[in-house]
């Protein structure tokens, strides 16, 4: 298998596939920890949930970008990317903890775009910090 990944096109397709699957798994985990149904909120046109989810997708992809650059093996890339995702998931819980006057999930579900934008910015900016440390 390692010989197969020595070809640039095959390596790129393999890494791309691993990252896409990782994003799908990460979104499933986020779906599991939020009280609302993301896809239902998308259908309703909820921009706050769209912004928060977009930040998560960008954050995960950005973490994997750094992980790909820092690792020579797909397994190493997946390990660091997974660890980075856990840290990004922790950001989600910290955001909820740091806002005791309101519930982030309730505000997102109510289409509070200010909360959606802040959620987006937190995920994106901290993904750069997480990625830089890989």
DSSP 66-99: HHHHH-SSHHHHHHHHHHHHHHHHHHHHHHHHT-
- Nearest Cα neighbor of 60 from 20, 98, 116 is 20
Number of domains in the chain: 1
Neighbours of 8 (CB within 10 A): 8
CA 134 to chain centre: 16
Residues 6 or more apart whose Cβ sits within 8 Å of residue 23 = 57, 60, 61
Using DSSP, state whether 3 is helix, strand or coil: coil
Question: Domain containing 110: what range?
Answer: 4-133
Q: What is the pLDDT along the chain (134 residues), one digit of tens a residue?
A: 556 557 788 888 888 999 999 999 999 999 998 999 999 999 999 999 999 999 999 999 999 999 999 987 888 889 999 999 999 999 888 988 888 899 999 999 999 999 999 999 999 999 999 999 98
């Amino acid at each position: 298998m390692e010989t197969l990944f020595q070809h640039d096109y095959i390596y790129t397709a393999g890494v791309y596939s691993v990252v896409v699957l990782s994003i799908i798994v990460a979104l499933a985990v986020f779906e599991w920890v939020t009280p609302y149904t993301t896809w239902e909120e998308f259908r309703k046109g909820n921009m706050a949930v769209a912004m928060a989810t977009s930040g998560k997708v960008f954050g995960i992809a950005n973490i994997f970008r750094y992980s790909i650059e820092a690792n020579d093996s797909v397994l190493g890339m997946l390990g660091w990317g997974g660890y980075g995702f856990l840290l990004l998931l922790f950001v989600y819980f910290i955001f909820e903890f740091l806002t005791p006057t309101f519930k982030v999930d309730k505000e997102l579900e109510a289409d509070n775009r200010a909360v959606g934008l802040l959620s987006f910015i937190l995920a994106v900016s901290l993904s750069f910090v997480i990625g830089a440390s890989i």
